[in-house]
Amino acid sequence: MSEFNLIKIDGKPLEKLIDVVSKAIGRIYTPRAIRKEADAKAYEIEVIEGAKTKAYLNRQEIKQDLLDRIDERVLYREVRKQKNIDAVTMIAAEELKNENTISDTPVNEDWTVRFFNVVEDVSDEMMQQLWGRILAGEVKSPNSFSIRTIECLKNITKQEAELFTKVANFVFTYDNDLFIFRGDIFEELFEEYISEEYISFDEILLLTEIGLLQANTIIGITCKSKTEDTEMIFVCGKNIIKATKKANTIEDHIPVIALTRSGTELLKLLSIMPIESYINSFYAYLQRKGFIVEKNFT
C-alpha cells in the first residue's frame, strides 16, 4: 500500500478531517497507510527509550531479555494502533474527498477522543469501513452519531454487524420513524426453519440485546378514525407504499419493531436492498386492514 497521498490540504473537508484527527491523537497528523522505514525506526527508538527510562527511574532491576520483550510488546501494540487509525482515517478521507461543502460546526473533542480510543483497536477491514464512514459523517455534519452509538458499535462483532446489514433491508420509514413490519407474514418468519432471506426470531432477540432494536414488542402505528381520509406513506429503500384510510372507519393498529437511536444512526451507513416479497406482504396486510393501497416499486 502506498503513502496516503489522497489527502490534499487545499480541500476544506479533508482539512477539517486532519484537524479532527490531530486533536484526538495529540499531534499534527500526517496520515500514511504505512510509515516510511526511517519514520518507523525513529518511532521505534522513541518508544523503546521511553520504556527503558521509565524502568530505570523506578529503580527496577530488569533483566535485559525481559526489557527487550517489553520493548517489543509496546512497539507492536503502538504500531498496530497507529495502523488502525491510519486505515480508518483513509476510509473517511475517501468518503469526504468529493464533498464540496461541510458544516462549519467543529466536531466535539470529547466525541473525537472517545472515537479514536475505540478505533485504535479495530483491525477488521469490514468494521474499519463502518468506523471510517462514521468519522466522515461526523466531520461533514457534527452530532450525526452520538457517543452512545460509538459505545454500541464498539461492542458489536463483525457477525452482528453483518446481521444488522441484512435486517436493514426490512426497514420501513414512516413519518421519520424507522421500523420493521411485524404483521402476519413476519410472525411466519419466526418459525424454526426459514429461508436465509428472512429474519429469525433469535436474530431479532440478538439485535435487541445489542441495542439496535427496541425491546418493547407491543408498539405499533395507530391510524385513528377521522372525519376525513387519512393518508400514510411508507418507504423501504426506493419503494413507496401509500395507504389511505377512508373517513369514519374503525381505528387500526399496525404492529412494528422500532429501531433504537443507535440503530437509526447506524442505518445511515448502509445501502438498503429491499426484498420485494416482504414489501408485497406488507402491501397485502394493509389491504386486509381496509386501506386503499398504492405502491411504486423502483
pLDDT (tens digit, 9 = 90+) per residue, 44-57? 556 666 656 665 55
Q: Give the pLDDT score at 27.
A: 63
- Please check whether residue 286 is in contact with residue 230, taking contact to mean a CB–CB distance below 8 angstroms: no
Share of the chain above pLDDT 70, in %: 74
- CB contact burial 257-286 (16+ within 10 A = b; e otherwise): bbbbebbbbbbebbebebeeebbebbbebb
- Helix (H) or strand (E) run with residue 223 in it: strand 220-223
Q: What is the pLDDT of residues 246-259, one digit of tens each?
A: 888 777 778 888 99
State the chain's mean pLDDT as an integer.
Answer: 79
List the one residue out of 90, 102, 134 whose CA is nearest residue 115: 134
Q: How far apart are CA 16 and CA 32, in angstroms?
A: 17
Provide the H-helix boundaries in 64-183.
64-96, 109-119, 125-140, 147-154, 158-167
- List the chain domain ranges: 12-145, 159-296
Q: Give the pLDDT score at 125.
A: 93
Residue 285 scores a pLDDT above 70 = yes
Alpha carbon distance, N-terminus to C-terminus of the chain: 39
Q: Is the pTM of this model over 0.85?
A: no
Q: What is the pLDDT of residues 180-209, one digit of tens each?
A: 887 554 554 444 333 445 777 788 889 999
- Please check whether residue 180 is in contact with residue 167, taking contact to mean a CB–CB distance below 8 angstroms: yes
**Pairing status of strand 220-223 against strand 239-245:** unpaired
Q: Which of 141-150, 158-167, 216-225, 260-269 shows the lowest per-residue confidence on average (mean pLDDT)?
A: 216-225
- Please check whether residue 33 is in contact with residue 3, taking contact to mean a CB–CB distance below 8 angstroms: yes
* Phi, psi at 52, each rounded to 5°: -65, -45
